[in-house]
Amino acid sequence: MQSQSLTPEERQSVWHTLRNPRLLLVELLAGVVVALALIPEALAFAVVAGVDPRMGLFTSVTMAIVIAITGGRPAMVSGAAGSTALVLAPLTASHGVDYLVAAVLLGGLMQVLFAVLGVAQLMRFIPRQVMVGFVNALAILIFSSQLPQLIGVPWAVYPLVAVGLLIVIYLPKLTTAVPAPLVAIVLLTAFTVFAGVRVPTVGDHGALPDSLPAFFIPNVPFTAETLQIIAPFALGLAMVGLVESLMTAKLVDDITDTHSDKTRESWGQGVANLVTGLFGGMGGCAMIGQTMININGARARTRLSVFFGGVFILVLSVTLGDIVALIPMAALVALMIVVAATTFDWHSIRPATLRALPKAETLVMVSTVLVTVLTDNLAYGVGAGILLAMAFFARRVARFVTVERNFEASSDSGQDGARAVYRVDGQLFFASSNDLYTLFEYAEDPNQVVIDLSSANIWDASTVSALDAITAKYQKLGKTVTVIGLNTTSEDLHGRLTGRLG
């Protein structure tokens, strides 16, 4: 595994930013925007997990600061996430906060282990349409998560949201010197305070902390029974957190046209969760909404913005909590609506695109979206999309296998000097080899049969078993079968398994 310290290129980028006042200002302001966007989310997700709201804030502080150093994707924001909160909520309800923290620590260890095993490299097997479905589902979840802030609220919320939308959308067309999200938050907060407009605020989501996070060791018995209780939740945290983080990293790679180290990101997420657990946090992962704000809205590109974001959450929560609590939720709702709209891949649902795509590809994308939205779990949606894509791929490839039967002269054949030669063309695996048995004319063939696999590849035991079954049936009829044309890989697999599969 590669070293987890900053690469020379990353160190050069950070130092270049620190020496350039204009770039440094961009990263600092982006950190403020990220902090303001993370605070209400952290408070809300803490409620989902069934813990003190301050626990959610401390989680975002430690996750952001640690991942800025250890993560593999610069400018990607991590914090207390809704997906991981949903995984851990039942454990909190049944066994309490100490068991939750123990599960976070174990989940972090699992993520580090996954990094060592190279699990992150499996990202290459995620089809494009699953990625598109992931992005579209995220956009829908981001938008739908704002609806509670728009239902049953004072009428003043709606014009505030409209003004916030106008600022975030149109201010960048006039100037990019200051992040539009920050301008919207400051202006709408100032207006509601000085005009005396009563609308829901960040403070309504829970009390902000008044002290620094402290070192915390969960008070649980170190027994096999405890491990049995927390292990399923820890595995859920590790898997859901990694899926969401790695998919988000891939999305940011595409947006910024850069490459990130997915193995290092897995390692970094694990370390961040370990540190978070040691400070009594609820665990987390990459957050797509805040990442899009940081990348697209605030135009940040380095680790500094995420580091500053974590520091600012701590400073704002502890020293300026009373001011932060006054921020109207309408400002953050407007910001998240724009994020949802810009995250959604509108090109993917254009009629021309849908007509051009194979129906199976469209079904994979739609299934990913539906499962994610219905379960509110990104891991389930991605898993369903991958399984469906694999099934369609196997079905498609299986159809490409052809078997051609010819007769050739053979001096040692006992039937009119001829032998049957079957030329097999295609990829032979469990889906395509299941029908292979039915493609031979057993009774009509002469005493010598040749199966030519020079245009085929054997990929699994199912194919070897099918060839054994074909050979056995011919032998029952007193006929001889010869398999020729195997390439090196196929010959090795066939030689090791033939006659040993029952």
DSSP per-residue string spanning 324-369: HTTSBHHHHHHHHHHHHHHHS-GGGGSHHHHHHS-HHHHHHHHHHH
Cβ contact 331:185 at 8 Å: yes
**Rounded-to-integer distance, Cα 243 and Cα 263, Å:** 12
The label of the residue with tokens 């595994």 reads: 1
* Burial class of residue 499, CB neighbours in 10 A (0-12, 13-18, 19+): exposed
Cβ contact 130:368 at 8 Å: yes
Cβ contact 427:462 at 8 Å: no
**Rounded-to-integer distance, Cα 86 and Cα 1, Å:** 31
Give how far the C-alpha of residue 119 lies from the chain's centroid of Cα atoms, to the nearest Å.
13
pLDDT of residue 339: 77
pLDDT of residue 141: 83
**Rounded-to-integer distance, Cα 466 and Cα 447, Å:** 20
Q: Which residues pair with 420 in a beta bridge?
A: 407, 449
Of 339, 298, 286, 366, the C-alpha closest to 142 is: 339
pLDDT of residue 182: 82
Quote the pTM value. Answer: 0.72
Q: Which amino acid is at 165?
A: L
Helix intervals (H) in 20-96: 21-49, 53-70, 82-95
Cβ contact 49:85 at 8 Å: yes
**Rounded-to-integer distance, Cα 297 and Cα 33, Å:** 9
pLDDT of residue 2: 45
Cβ contact 246:123 at 8 Å: yes
Give the angle 152-81-51 at the CA atoms, nearest 5°: 75
- The DSSP output letter for 320 is S
Residues with Cβ within 8 Å of 334's Cβ and at least 6 positions away in sequence, in order, are 160, 161, 162, 163, 164, 165, 167, 168, 184
Q: What is the mean pLDDT of each run of 10 residues along the chain (502 residues)?
A: 58 75 89 88 79 88 95 93 85 94 97 90 80 86 85 94 93 81 89 94 79 89 95 90 89 87 94 96 91 86 93 89 86 84 88 90 94 82 90 81 87 64 92 87 93 94 94 94 94 91 74
- Token pair listed for 107: 């989940």
Quick one: angle between helices 21-49 and 303-318, nearest 10?
Answer: 60
pLDDT of residue 4: 54
**Phi and psi dihedrals of 357, rounded to 5?**
-75, 145
**Rounded-to-integer distance, Cα 160 and Cα 153, Å:** 12
Cβ contact 111:245 at 8 Å: no
